[in-house]
A and B are shown apart, each in its own frame.
Chain A
């Protein structure tokens, strides 16, 4: 089997772009990725892509070019981008195709998501009585986690403060203003113990990646980044997930634990070798928990890690270097690919004001979402 390389990256700035459709943002990202790789759309042999609420990715060809390539829509909730990437990885690794594109984009209305329980196989009562609210899940998961680990809840504001600090250095981020931990902690409570500034918001944005057989990567770029692995897992009996009217009495590992383990094993890389990591921070408690669930540190170790500055841009394990979901918002279809985009920038040494020092070699990304899924990647240069 051949290896897979990312040779072109493109993004439409995250946040709110009034008057520009999600599809238009996707086209912009695709053209940027093609320009980055020195390619035309007619050079591509396949496409995978999707959005949650901004239209079908395969219709983008009417703007990008009607070349007859197979373009397959991917609709997989929060793992839409990750799943598109996994499909592209398999297409190249299997030898089916040599060169193609993945595109993730979205444009959500303001405010928290309102999801129809029926789409998740849950009765209407769940929504009517006020339980179909994602923010509650995150509040209850971190509440239990703080209880079990004894970690000081004050760390939740520290994590969000870092997100805004990194976002302020990232020209593609939505939230570009630093907010102090004190102000974050004092903000209105959304779902105890999480305040307004600890949560990300649904937003807009688009990311595109051009991928090819690794042995041909130098034809398109002087700085190829290898997609060493991409893995996806759904929930097992006993894990604690969003939109769960009940949990099993016995506890099982989360899909994050299994997806990250699979990604590291497939890459032949140990979590301790990671130089830069993007982990799902739907809210700051999620970053705290996912740091340990992904194997990047031990449970309970996060508090010291964060207090020592290890997760800062110049720390031992920089995390969410572009500001993460908290500073970028979460356009569902694009969010997972944003993480990969950021790691490619970091491994190229092209992240500018938010560049991690020391020429990072190994990047890790992690997505988590409804209804209990996780997608992870390992990148190297």
Chain B
């Protein structure tokens, strides 16, 4: 559970004073970021990664719309949904579902922010959440 929500994988998240953030890692030697957290640095090949919350806001770097229901291992309820890469300034570019799936309402460079969204229910009918980005409300 993250902030009273059931998630697809709690290890992806970290709770901060500003709210739930994605749990990434930063290399103590070279400063490179990763998501999710991992022990080895893909840039300098060292193993001094430290756990960090990633920025909860960013800009849309690229996007598409999934147009057909994916085969398993997909378990979500939606057959079609937006997918994008979001640039978190100074950190990395993270892949995520988007809350918007209308091509007319998506553009590269638009400000977006992290939200947790239900994408399926579990066997007892409880919503299971994953992370997504949606248009930043304060823009």
Contacts and interface: CB of A to CB of B under 8 A. Distances in A.
Interface string A104-135: 00000001101011000001110111111101
Interface string B12-42: 1000000000001000000011111000001
B108 interface: yes
B110 interface: no
7 contacts: A125-B12, A128-B120, A147-B62, A192-B67, A237-B32, A237-B43, A246-B24
Contact of B90 (A111, A130, A249): A249
B88 to A, nearest CB: 8
Contact of B64 (A111, A136, A248): A136
A307 interface: no
Contacts of A246: 24, 33-35, 92-95
B76 interface: yes
B103 interface: yes
A129 B97 contact: yes
Question: Which one of B34, B63, B68, B84 has the highest number of Cβ atoms from chain A below 10 Å of its Cβ?
Answer: B68
Nearest to A132: B73
Which of the listed residues A112, A132, A189 has the most CB atoms from chain B within 10 Å of its own CB? A189
Contacts of B121: none
Nearest 9 pairs between A and B by C-beta?
A139-B64, A127-B73, A114-B71, A144-B62, A125-B9, A247-B93, A246-B35, A140-B62, A125-B8
A222 interface: no
A268 interface: no
A17 interface: no
Contacts of A124: 9, 73
A126 to B, nearest CB: 9
A114 B62 contact: no
Given A124-B9, A249-B90, A189 B67 contact: yes
B73 A114 contact: yes
Contacts of B120: 128
Contact of B62 (A127, A133, A141): A141
A148 to B, nearest CB: 9
B74 A130 contact: yes
